[in-house]
Each structure stands twice: as structure tokens, then as C-alpha cells.
Amino acid sequence: MLLQLSAAFDLHQDVVPWLKERLSAEAAAPVAGPRAGLDPVENNYETLHVVNVERNGKVIYSCKDSKKNVFFGLYDLQTKKNEHLYTFEKDLQVVSCSVNREKTLLAVSFVQSAKERRNELQPASKCLTLLVEIHPVNNVKVLKAVDSCIWVQFLYPIDERNPFPESHLLLISEEKYIEQFHIQVFREDENRVVIRNSGRLPADRIVEDFIWAQWDMSEQRLYYFVLKKSESILKCIQFYADEKFNLIFEVPLDISFGDTRLTLVNFGYEDSQNRKVLSKDLNLRVFTSHTGSLCVCYNKKSDVQKQVSYLVFYLHKGYSKTFTVDLGTLEYQSIKDITFLNLDCYVAVYLPGHFFHLLNTQHPDLMCHSLFITGKNEKMNLLPDAPLQSLSGALAWDWCSGKLFRVSFNQSSLLHFLWSSPLDYERLAVLNCLLAQGRNPRVLEVQIIQWIFENMKTCYAFDPIQEFLIASLYWKFCLDINNMDKLLPHSSLHSWNKEIPGVTMVTEEILLPLMKIQSFKGYWEKLNSNLEYVKYAKPHLQYSNNVVRREWRNLISEEKRGKRRSTVYFRNILENAVKVVSNLEAWTVESRLAPLFQEEDNQQRLLIGLMVSELKEHLLRNLPVQFIGKKKIEQLVLDYVSKMLDLLCQMLETSWRKHRLDSWVFHFDGRGSAGEFAVFHTMTQILDSVNRMCLPLPPGFHTVYMALGVRCLPLHCLLRYIDDGVLLLTETGVMKLLKDLDNTEKNEKLKFSIVERLPPFILQKTSQFWDHPINSHIISRNYVKRLLPKHKRPLQKSTIDKSSFHTEFLPLNYLIEVLTEMETTHQALNPFEGCDSVDTKFVAETALKQTTILLNL
């Protein structure tokens, strides 16, 4: 299955053995007190069930012995130990239970059984709420004695530095109000903790007339709905370490509360007695993530019996999406409720045996970033048939079995799905999910790269190399700093217009939450930042390489024309490139097989430096530098570009290893092997993907690519690659080619074709490495080609003595006259400055020599 359910707690495995051991010990101890625990003859554990889960990972459970005494125990998920809390020596129907963080106070609400009534007139629904001192067992105080059900929940301060002297307890009434009790305690002696002023405990009425409430135990938040003038308004209260609490936001939502009975979520175990009180018709959940997302998931009752619909309000985005799934021949009334599970940046929505959806809450705009599996599918088979109840911190309850699960993504199953699925929208969703949630990133990157190379030709809707690069960088760098995820791209795709079979989606705009406080911290700061972005979003905020593309092309064009901007400008760009390469080299532990980073490669260094410069300016312009710091932003940019080059290097390394080029020697002679052909093809794919996004390549990439091209391609195909700009001629590559290859007829043809296509600034440096008439011919021709266009005035009679190279060959004589005058009047036009041997005499001698060769004289 795609989700991995790891049992964090199993009621029967983690509690029952301890209870049996405790019973055996108590049976052997004749002096055991009546309140010590269970009756030793009790072997029936059908009454054993979980009552509540507290914020710090402690599970409260209860059971009854043969005398109907109610036993309360506590299991600690961290220490894996059980302990006894309290035993009531009477038959009670437990409604709710909670213990404070110090385990000194126990709050319990229960309905007394008919046997406990003093007379027949006493109502059977009498609910008592008790506060018990349990460190050690001391007094019992009645908090409520009412005819309606009460649920209890201690607050657990997130800041735990000051655990004493006060505890805070929420009381949630069936009559639709919530109170907060403030309980002060003090130590009477070393081991005795007692309630101070137990006669009257101060309390605040914090919520009234609500219809639905959900408790977030991990972050100590209370979400609740109130009905106001036919509107359903969602509100949230944040509790803090002290007695303070704040109403954080409110937002009206289009949710119909047809049943006016109370609905509570995550306030403990819902037994048969509670289900008579609570509404079960409303399937509604609120989910948050550390990135500042806020989603409300609502199972809508559809009028069409063979369809199921659910609604997701993306409050941090300002819109909602209604998803409708066709169930085929089944009717929705005959199946169980939809389950919603919070997985941080994702929400899992599933109906066992029918569909499984994995919604990307970070970027829900494109459907292809969410995973939709419908119908019978093996990926869903291992999910429990019983609905799970999602708790905070990626925990989920299976109340039927008494198991508490830690929910995570099954990386191996996701990888298997990536390999097996033929559908682009599934591949795209799984790829992003892996990158967002994957463990062992280095291993995962290699596995994804292997998949990319095997499936490049079968991906039609997106480029897997581009998506891998952009998504990897996003999930690695964009979630640590507020608003960073809005400034850098998260996907290579800009739109998705294709349908997903079996699922229809309707998007509608909604009102943004109205924040009710001024000072934001932690999660609320991120949520408020998301809301501000939706209000004032501008398309240009997201970084694009278009500016880099234009500037890079201008710089290369200027360099080819022999022009160059200020030295300071170039030095700054090249220094950026040096920092990136040094940064990457500091990361690299293993030696690389592919011979990269062994030359300057000015074009790629310019592109690297330009990207660093533009990206840094983009972030400095749009991020609050005063809070983040300029140095941190600069380092983040270096890491971002370095990681991009690292991923490209990993692609080459993976291909190198796959095709066993471990001992590959950089040379040009000989025919390429099958492995070299495959690696050349891989490099072509990488080059195409990267060029379309104008992303930099590791210095040395083009030289290695050229060497493989010379060895693997026939000459006409190689020259086509060069002429079309796919294969770039580098100075290092050309010089090595001229040195390595001898002057056989085949090699001369190759060298001539290469040298003929060299730009002047490379030809100037490489000409001395090939002492051959053809090379002289090319140099002379280029020399004349560069000088003649500058000759615009009538030829003046030259006063220079040309007797040393004067010949009786009239066309050549005229050319020599023109070149001589150009040399004397435009010395700066010499494209081969620094090469003293290139002048008019050199051209004349080369022309005669070439003519002699052509005429076979």
C-alpha cells in the first residue's frame, strides 16, 4: 500500500500482558488494598478500551473487573510502560477522561448505571464530572452533576518550562457550551499534591452555541462551528502555556448542518452511549501543516446514489474544490464513510475498496500534483476497512481494534507505483510525493534518476528531468523560510488541462479567513503570510530564468564579437561561479567517474554566475532581509544552484555506472562502445531538457559530450549536431582532438570540419596545435574574411616594400595590395593579435601553397 501504518500502540499487545502480570502479582499478595487494581479472577478484557490520547503521547484506557469496578491505566508511547492511575469501585459508563501533564489530577465524566441509582425517580442519564487527586490518591471533587453529557480535556502547555502551579481543564457540554477551569495545586509535603481552594474553582465560558468542534491535541487548538444568520462560521481558539487564549480567525463556509445535534472530533473514544448523543451524519475535519496550510474536508451527501462527493476548502489559497467519484455499480448508501487523514503537506481521502486520493495541499492548483486512484486497485488493499480517526502529529486511531498508528508514506510502494504506472498524471503526482516526503534523499534521488532514464520516451505530458530538478530543489529549500515557496518554482508545468478518469472537480472561490489578532507566531505567522500572498499576489513574484537567458545570450554574443563589458561585472559573475563550484566540491565525498569540473568552460561559468546573481537579487527584493539576513539568503542561493549541479552530476554518475564506464579514458580516437553510445544518448536528453529551461550545466559537460560525439557519431551526423548548436565546440576539447588524432585522411577530414567551424576566439588559441596546410588555409581565409568587410575607401598606393612576396599572379596581387593597406591603417582589427606569424605575407604564402596542392603541381 502507498501509506505505511506502523502500530505505535496496540491495546491487546501493549496493555493486556501487563494487566495479566499485575493480576498475578496482586493474587499472590493477600494484603493488597481494595483500590490497588483489578479483581485477580478477571480474565475477560472485552471492556478494555481506549478513552483518550493526550498531547505528550500518553494513552488513557479503562476496563472493568468481575465486580464492575472501573480501572484507569496510562500507557506512555515514549517509554513503552504502563501505570495505574485510579480505580472506581462502582459500575460506571465512562463518557470522557483526561489526565494533566504532571499526572497529579484526573478528570472523569461518566453516566451511572441503573444499579447505582438510589431510587427509581433518579434519571438514568445523570452525568457526573469528577476531578480526582491521584498523586497520591486523595480527594475527589464534583465539577458537574447534570443531565447532559460532559467531555473533559486537560490543556497541555506547549511551553513546558513552568508546569506548576496551575492546570487548565476544558469541559465540553452536550448543551453546546465550553468552559475552562483553572485548577491551582500545591505540594503539601514531598509526595502529596493537593488542589488549592477546592471549594470553588474559577472558570471561564469560552464558547457558546456551537454545533461542531474539533480538538487539536498536538498544537492545543480548538476549531468549532457556530450558526449565524443561516451561515456556518468556522472559528479557532489557540490556547497558550498560561491561562490565556485567543480567538485566532473566523471564516464563513458553505457547509450545511442539517442535524443540529452536537458533533465532536478527537475528544476521546466514542462508545455506543456517546453515539446516541453525538451526530454521526456529519463527516467534517480541519487539517493544518507546518507550511501554513489550512484545509477543511467535508463529505457531502450526494443526491446521485452511485456517486460520492467531498469538498475541500483550501482556506490558505482562497478557493474550494469539490471532487466527485463515480462508484460504478455500487450505491453510496451501502458503503461506509469516507476517511480523511492528515499527512502534513498532503491529505489522504479514501473509501476502502473504492478509491484513494492523495491531495497535495501545498499546491492544489494542478490536479496532476495530487494522486487519484479509483476502482479496485492493489495499492488500496492493505488499508483498514474500518475508518481511521486522524489525530494530530500524523497519528490515526482504529477504534475497532484499539490500535494507534503512525501514518507515513511507504517509499518502496511509491517507487514501485512510479515504475509500474503508465499514466503521466499518476507518475507526476507520485514523483512529487516522493520528493516531498522521501527518506534517505541520496538513495531516493538515484532511484528516481534510474526511473527517468528508463521512461523518458514514455512521458508525454511532462519532462521528467525538468520536473525532477525543479521539484527536488523546491522541496529541499523552499519550506524553511516564510514565503520562499512563493518565490521559487515548484514544478516545470504551468498548466494541466487533461481529465483524470473517474474523477470530476469543480473549483470555486471562497472568502479568506479573517485574522482576529495582530501578533503572529509559529504556524499562525505562516498562515497569515499565505493569506497576504493570496490578497496581493503578483505573477512576477515567482523566479524565472528568462532574464538569465537573455543576459547570457547577450554576453556570449558580445564575447564572440570581441567585446566585453566592465571587468568588475565579469569578475563578480565569475566569482559567483567559483563559489558554487567550491560549495559543491565541499559536499562531494565520493570521487566522480564522469570527468567533469576539469576545465574553465567559460560559457557555463557565465550561466552559473548569472543565475546566482539574478536569483539573489530576486530573493533580496522580495524577502524581509532585516529578519532573515543577507548572508543567509546568499548562502541559500549558493546551495540552491550547487544542488542543481549536484543533481545533474548524479544523473551522469548513474548513467556512467549503469553502462560500466568506470575506466573510461578521455580520448577521441577509436570507435565508441555500446555503453558510450548509451551515455551519449543520456547526455543528449539532459542537454535538451536543461537548455529549454536555460539551466546551467556542470563545467566540462560539453567537452565530455563532444568526445563521446566524436567517437559515437558518423561525421555527417556529428557536423549536423555542431551546426544545429546541440554539440558545442570547447577549447579544451578541440585542442585535445588536434593533439590526439594523427593526420590520416579520415582524421584530416574530421579536423578540417571541426576547425572550419571554430569561432575566432577559439581558433586563435588552437591554431598552433595543428601544423598542417589545411589549418593554414583556414586561418588565412578567416583572416581575410575579417579584414575585407572593413575596406570601404578606394585603394591608395602602398609605400610598403612587397618584393619579398611579390608574384606574377594578378588576383593574388590585388588581394595583397588590399590586405597590406588594411594592415597599415587598421592594426586593431587583427583577429589574431598575439600571433606574430599571421599577416599578409602568411596569407599570400598559404594561398600559393594551397593552389599548388589543388593543381597537383
CA distance 173 to 150: 5
CB of 309 closer than 8 Å to CB of 323: yes
637 plus 582 within the same structural domain: yes
CA distance 94 to 91: 9
Residue 388 DSSP label: P
| pLDDT above 70 (res 727) | yes
| pLDDT above 80 (res 694) | yes
- Other Cβ atoms less than 10 A from the Cβ of 18: the count is 15
CA distances from 333 to 233, 306, 322, 350, 381 (A): 28, 9, 19, 16, 21
pLDDT of res. 126: 79
pLDDT of res. 803: 46
Bridge-based pairing of strands 245-253 and 319-326 is unpaired
pLDDT of res. 379: 63
pLDDT of res. 479: 81
764 plus 803 within the same structural domain: no
CA distance 170 to 175: 14
589 plus 618 within the same structural domain: yes
Residue 697 lies inside a defined structural domain of this protein: yes
Quote the domain boundaries for residue 634. 547-771
809 plus 792 within the same structural domain: yes
The mean of the pLDDT values for the chain is 83
755 plus 692 within the same structural domain: yes
Residue 238 DSSP label: E
pLDDT of res. 490: 93
CA distance 672 to 713: 8
pLDDT of res. 508: 96
607 plus 621 within the same structural domain: yes
| Phi and psi based region of residue 681 (left: phi greater than 0; alpha: psi -120 to 50; beta: remaining) | alpha
How many domains does the structure of the chain reveal? 2
pLDDT of res. 570: 84
- The pTM score is 0.85
| Phi and psi based region of residue 680 (left: phi greater than 0; alpha: psi -120 to 50; beta: remaining) | alpha
| Phi and psi based region of residue 318 (left: phi greater than 0; alpha: psi -120 to 50; beta: remaining) | left
Domain boundary at 746, 771, 796, which?
771
Q: Which of 787, 849, 854 is nearest to 816 (CA)?
A: 787
765 plus 782 within the same structural domain: no
Residue 430 lies inside a defined structural domain of this protein: no
Q: What are phi and psi of 640, to 5 degrees?
A: -60, -50
pLDDT of res. 440: 81
Domain boundary at 771, 789, 817, which?
771
Residue 185 β-bridge partners: 195
Residue 379 DSSP label: G
Task: Specify the higher pLDDT residue, 302 or 735.
Answer: 735
Q: Which helix (H) or strand (E) element contains residue 187?
A: strand 177-189
637 plus 750 within the same structural domain: yes
- Other Cβ atoms less than 10 A from the Cβ of 294: the count is 26
Residue 473 lies inside a defined structural domain of this protein: no
Long-range contacts of 124-131 (CB under 8 A, 24+ apart): 127/95, 129/171, 131/105, 131/106, 131/107, 131/169, 131/183, 131/195, 131/201
pLDDT band at 455 (very low <50, low <70, confident <90, very high): very high
* The C-alpha cell that represents 203 in the structure block: 472558570
Sign of the torsion angle spanned by Cα atoms 769, 772, 775, 777: positive
751 plus 636 within the same structural domain: yes
What average pLDDT does the segment 367-378 reach? Answer: 85
Sign of the torsion angle spanned by Cα atoms 535, 538, 539, 541: negative
Residue 48 lies inside a defined structural domain of this protein: no
CB of 340 closer than 8 Å to CB of 390: yes
Domain boundary at 771, 801, 836, which?
771
| pLDDT above 90 (res 367) | yes
Residue 375 lies inside a defined structural domain of this protein: no
CA distance 746 to 815: 33
Helical spans, DSSP H, in 234-301: 272-277
| pLDDT above 60 (res 496) | yes
Give the pLDDT confidence of 730-784 residue by residue, as tens digits: 888 888 888 888 878 888 888 888 887 877 667 666 666 656 555 665 666 665 6
CA distance 469 to 466: 5
- Other Cβ atoms less than 10 A from the Cβ of 158: the count is 14
Give the pLDDT confidence of 610-664 residue by residue, as tens digits: 999 999 999 999 888 888 899 999 999 999 999 999 999 999 999 999 998 877 8
What average pLDDT does the segment 346-370 reach? Answer: 92
| pLDDT above 70 (res 605) | yes
Instruction: Please state, for a pLDDT cut of 70, what percent of the chain lies above it.
Output: 79
| Phi and psi based region of residue 54 (left: phi greater than 0; alpha: psi -120 to 50; beta: remaining) | beta
What average pLDDT does the segment 69-83 reach? Answer: 92
| pLDDT above 90 (res 251) | yes
CA distance 482 to 495: 25
pLDDT of res. 804: 47
- The residue written with cell numbers 582589427 in the block is 829
* The C-alpha cell that represents 364 in the structure block: 492544489
pLDDT band at 61 (very low <50, low <70, confident <90, very high): very high
* The C-alpha cell that represents 258 in the structure block: 442539517
pLDDT of res. 566: 75
639 plus 749 within the same structural domain: yes
Q: Find the Cα–Cα–Cα–Cα dihedral 432, 433, 435, 439, rounded to 10°.
A: -170
What average pLDDT does the segment 703-729 reach? Answer: 92
667 plus 633 within the same structural domain: yes
CB of 58 closer than 8 Å to CB of 72: no
629 plus 610 within the same structural domain: yes
Instruction: Please state, for a pLDDT cut of 90, what percent of the chain lies above it.
Output: 44
Residue 566 lies inside a defined structural domain of this protein: yes
pLDDT of res. 770: 58
pLDDT band at 214 (very low <50, low <70, confident <90, very high): very high
CA distance 557 to 508: 49
Residue 511 lies inside a defined structural domain of this protein: no
Cβ neighbours for 651, distance < 8 A, ≥ 6 positions apart: 449, 452, 453, 465, 682, 686
pLDDT of res. 332: 55
CB of 571 closer than 8 Å to CB of 579: no
Residue 742 lies inside a defined structural domain of this protein: yes
pLDDT of res. 853: 55
| pLDDT above 50 (res 242) | yes
Q: What angle do CA 605, 611, 612 make, to 5 degrees?
A: 90
CA distance 135 to 151: 22
CA distance 37 to 28: 13
Q: Collapsing DSSP states into helix, strand and coil, what is residue 78?
A: coil
Least confident interval from 37-41, 260-264, 272-276, 371-375: 37-41
DSSP annotation string for 476-526: HHSSSSTTHHHHS-S-S-S-----BTTEEEEEEE-PPPEE--S---HHHHH
CB of 733 closer than 8 Å to CB of 706: yes
Cβ neighbours for 580, distance < 8 A, ≥ 6 positions apart: 608, 609, 612, 638, 641, 642, 645
* The C-alpha cell that represents 214 in the structure block: 474539533
Sign of the torsion angle spanned by Cα atoms 495, 498, 502, 506: positive
pLDDT of res. 9: 94
